[in-house]
Chains A and B, each alone.
Chain A
Amino acid sequence: MSGTSRLGAVLFAAAFVLAASGAAAQENPNPPPKPENPRSADNKAPGSGPNPYRDCGIGASLFSNTGWAAVTSNVIWDLGLTALTSATSSPQTCNGKQSKVAQFIADTYVSVVDETARGSGEHLTAMLELYECKVESHGDIVAAIRGEVGQGVAAPTYAAFTLNEKAEQYYLIVNRHIETDFTQSCAI
């Protein structure tokens, strides 16, 4: 995919998300100063957090194709302590909860989206656990995102998305619903 068509696909996806949610930016009579680098996590407005895929380098890269030797099994590439999921950091940093969710979605996207289509599954449970959502709210959250995720999958542009872009689209849908509709059920 060329750079131009990729940019077009991303912009379309962003527009699609906004249109599907019906969200319209509410005018703020006292808008904050325009940040010098709007894409920098440090310049994001409080509570909005970074887009982990754009700002923190999240990508579905754990399962690299090493050719004939499996990436796991009896072979490990290094002994570096792998960062574990933690929900304790500030949501405005790239070590925050949302980045962990984004990484999980990027790493397990095919399972997450399959389970969303079916309506339940252990990957969905894990994802919502990362958000610290009460278990009794999981069904409602999945029901809330299912339609929108399905529309995204059915869109003609979906085929052209990379795995990372699909994961980002999914993440944005989930994150928005949780931040908007499930603040009482999840620890946002």
Chain B
Amino acid sequence: MNLRTSLRAAVLVTATLSASSGFASPPAELPDHTRAKGLAWSATWLKLVHYETRHGPASGYRSAISTDSFFLAPNGRTDPAAELDATLDAFAQPVGSDRNTHPQCRFRARYLWLKRQLAFDDRTFAPVQCPLYEQWTLGGGTESISLVLATGYLANPASFYGHILLKLNGAREVRYSDLLDVSVNYGAIVPKDENPVSYILKGALGGYDGGFSHIQYYFHDHNYSEYELRDLWEYRLDLAPDEVALITAHAWELLGKKFTYYFFRQNCAYRMAELVGIVEGLDILPQLRPWTIPQSVIQKLASARHRDLPLLAEVKYHPSRQSRFHARYARLDADGRRAAGRILADPGYVRSAEFEAASPTRRGLVVDAMIDYYQYSLTDEMTQDHPLQLGYRTMLAARFELPPENDDVPRARAQAPHTGRLPGLWRVGPIIEDGESPAVFANLRGAYYDVLDSGPGHVPHAALIMGDTSVVIDDGELHLRALDLLRIDSAARPFSGLPGDGGGAWGLRLGLRPQNLDCTSCLVLRGSGARGYSFALGPHALTGLLFGGALQNARNGEGVASGELSSFIDVTENRLLRARVEYQYRIPVDGHLDERHLASGEAIAPIGSRWEARLRYEKHGADAWILTLGRYW
């Protein structure tokens, strides 16, 4: 007979005696065993222990957590009822030498939730003080919860789609600055010297453990803002105090526990949505998809309601150093921009009579912008005698000589990611190839955006596409026309015209493409890469020139390797119509190429927020016209 059963028997005897003898009220009853059993199959308990449906175990469940210490029952990993029984037993354990290791402290969320569900009080289980937990939560001073979205970063495969972390916001009576708030992060546990190929394969196929870690928010803020130049968008949730406490407590329970990390589905966005979803009735995890995109979680959060109120309480923008520079530079008038150019040529200009003739405020605007420019442009490899280092030091010293000003960074130019469109796209419409009769063209893109349909939350003037599949239905037969396994295009639009501020372009593609439009059934597996330059053409257009190469499987006498010279013109600043024209010249390295010239033109017209019309012309030997109606999903 275990402790709980013994105590229950004692309670029943006591209750019987007191009822018959008129004694004082019996002690508080232990949690009702029958009711506790029922709770083992409740949605919240299953979420607290991260049970997932599985065919193998008798219970039909297996926890996603692999760390043994997360379970109190020997079979707790696969038996929700046994784990709940063991949890209740564990709460009654005597306190050892380190109270922080007591189950009431280690499993704080379980304790809070079971206490509420079973209505047990401090007489049922003597409450244990948890000093480390109290310190972590600022003595219960966590006032609210935010999800923080870091925008996508094309230089790192793990960051293509952005990242989400959790911030525990201290009450402002306790915390003046949210930089010291606790942040909770979920990521893959990767060996330090991992190579890129292993990194991508293991990340996609579950070859890594994943886990939660915590650090003060300033760590992430500084890294994203200063090193990766990524904006942060903070989404504060409107939650009741007990809901904030439950999420906080569950985050505590998960620290140091391991999951299997899957880059596409059970990634940071998934686990953060799962963590927040511990609150009953709160669901921000996009369902029925084989992947979880951080922006999709944020979009669902922004449109969700909780307790009949909008779940989203507030959106705060934390611009990167680059974004702050752009905002400050945009604020400069023509004279200010001329001064910035003079400073760049000679930082000593900041001490010239001409510059000092301006008011301290006007000088401060220029110097502040240039401080951001220099910091954004500096790299770790630049020694202290590099001109940019000299320029930065000169500007910094000059700023100290100017009066302090409460210089708020100008309002964000970027639109919040939750206002963007849904990540997937399907399109269908007629295709006319080489003057033949029309056939049906259909395209399905799982994620994410191309240059023409990119928007809030996406990297501007870029394409990030995975699993884009095009088919043609002609005379009742279905043909695969193309498959983009991966396509990344990036062109940084020059903003200020200052060196290093935009102007680069690169691309990476891998997939099945037709050798040309003259042949049928001539798909080749082709991988290509290119680098080059981009230039602004007025305020509405961008052009670029790239040099690269490609490898493909040999077919129909064509060679394996070729060089590529590509150019493009994008008109994407117009909301009504966005267009792109591309030209490519291929140079065979081995063998021959039947067709060396490729050209295409494409234009889309948004129809509301979920539809688009798209017209495309392409020529690669023969030509093709494609008109589609598309819907984002």
The residues of A with any CB-CB pair to B shorter than 8 Å are: 62-63, 65-66, 68-82, 84-86, 88, 104, 107-108, 110-111, 113-114, 116-120, 122-123, 125-126, 129-130, 135, 142-143, 146-147, 149-150, 153-154, 158-160
Q: Given A79-B258, A108-B218, A129-B175: A159 and B404 within 8 A (CB)? A: no
Q: How far, in angstroms, from A73 to B258 measured CA to CA in the complex?
A: 17
From B337-345, B391-399, B533-541, the one touching the partner chain is: B391-399
Which residues on the B side are within 8 Å of A147 (C-beta)? 400
Q: Closest A residue to B175 by CB, please name it.
A: A129
Could you list which residues of chain B lie within 8 angstroms of chain A, going by C-beta atoms?
135-136, 150, 153, 155-156, 158-159, 163, 175-180, 182, 185, 187-190, 192, 194, 196, 199, 203, 211-216, 218-220, 222-228, 255-258, 263, 267-268, 368, 371, 375, 380, 384-385, 389-390, 393, 396-397, 399-401, 403-407
The 3 closest A-B pairs by CB, nearest first: A119-B404, A150-B400, A126-B177
Establish whether residues A129 and B180, one from each chain, have CB atoms under 8 Å apart when the complex forms. yes
What is the minimal beta-carbon distance from B69 to any residue of chain A, in angstroms? 12
Considering the complex, give the chain B residue whose CB is closest to the CB of A104. B218
Query: Are B192 and A77 touching (Cβ within 8 A)?
Result: yes
**Contact among A74, A82, A110 with B213 in the assembled complex (CB-CB below 8 Å):** A82
Name B381's closest neighbour in chain A (CB-CB): A65
* Chain A residues whose CB sits within 8 angstroms of the CB of B396 once the complex forms: 113-114, 117, 153
A99 to nearest B CB, angstroms? Answer: 14
Q: Closest A-chain residue to B199, C-beta based?
A: A69
Q: How far is the CA of A86 from the CA of B180 in the complex (A)?
A: 11
Contacts of A122 in B (CB 8 A): 177-179
| Residue pair A84, B136 in contact (C-beta under 8 Å) | yes
Cβ-defined contact, A79 with B189, below 8 A: yes
Shortest CB distance B571–A (Å): 32
CA distance A159 to B396 in the complex (A): 12
Residues of A within 8 A of B368 (CB): 118
- The answer to whether B223 touches A63, judged by C-beta atoms less than 8 angstroms apart, is yes
A68 neighbours in B (Cβ, 8 Å) = 155-156, 196
A149 to chain B, nearest CB (A): 7
Q: Which among B155, B177, B211, B213 is the interface contact of A125 at CB below 8 angstroms? A: B177
Q: Which residues of A contact B380 (CB under 8 A)?
A: 65
For A159, what are the chain B residues with a Cβ–Cβ distance below 8 Å?
A: 384-385, 389-390, 393
Query: What residues on B are CB-neighbors of A63 within 8 Å?
Result: 222-223, 227
A146–B159 touching, CB < 8 Å: no
Contacting pair A160 B153 (CB below 8 A): no
Q: Is the CB of A75 within 8 A of B223?
A: no
Give chain A nearest CB distance to B390 CB in angstroms.
8
Q: Which residues of B contact A85 (CB under 8 A)?
A: 180, 216
Kindly state the separation between the CA atoms of A80 and B212 in the bound complex, as whole angstroms: 10
Contact B256 A81 (CB under 8 A): yes
Interface-central residue, B180, B211, B223, B389, by most chain A CB under 10 Å: B180
Q: Which of B196, B258, B385, B400 contacts A149 (CB 8 A)?
A: B400
Report the minimum CB–CB distance from B153 to chain A (whole Å): 7
Question: Judging by beta carbons under 8 Å apart, are B177 and A73 in contact?
Answer: no
Interface centre among B189, B216, B228, B389 (most CB of A within 10 A): B216
In angstroms, Cα B150 to Cα A84, docked, is 23
How far, in whole Å, are A116 and B397 apart by their CA atoms in the complex?
A: 11
Q: How far is the CA of A81 from the CA of B106 in the complex (A)?
A: 14
A12 CB to closest chain B CB (Å) equals 16
Cβ contact within 8 Å between A126 and B153: no
Q: Which residue of the partner chain B has the closest CB to A119?
A: B404
- The 8 Å CB contact of A73, one of B163, B179, B216, B403, is B163
**Residues of chain A within 8 A of B399, CB atoms compared:** 114, 117-118
Q: Which among A69, A71, A120 has the highest number of chain B CB atoms within 10 Å?
A: A69
Q: List 30 A-B contacts (CB under 8 A).
A: A63-B223, A65-B380, A70-B153, A70-B228, A72-B185, A74-B188, A75-B188, A79-B189, A79-B255, A79-B257, A79-B258, A80-B213, A81-B213, A84-B214, A107-B219, A107-B222, A111-B225, A113-B396, A114-B399, A116-B400, A118-B404, A118-B405, A119-B403, A120-B406, A123-B177, A126-B180, A153-B400, A154-B397, A158-B393, A160-B384
B158 near A69 with CB under 8 A, answer: yes
Partner of A74 from B159, B192, B256 at Cβ < 8 Å? B159
Q: How far is the CB of B152 from chain A (nearest CB, A)?
A: 10
A72 touches B224 (CB 8 A): yes
B213–A79 CB distance below 8 A: yes
Are the C-beta atoms of B180 and A130 separated by less than 8 Å? yes
Contacts of B404 in A (CB 8 A): 118-120, 142-143, 146
Question: Are A114 and B177 within 8 A (Cβ)?
Answer: no
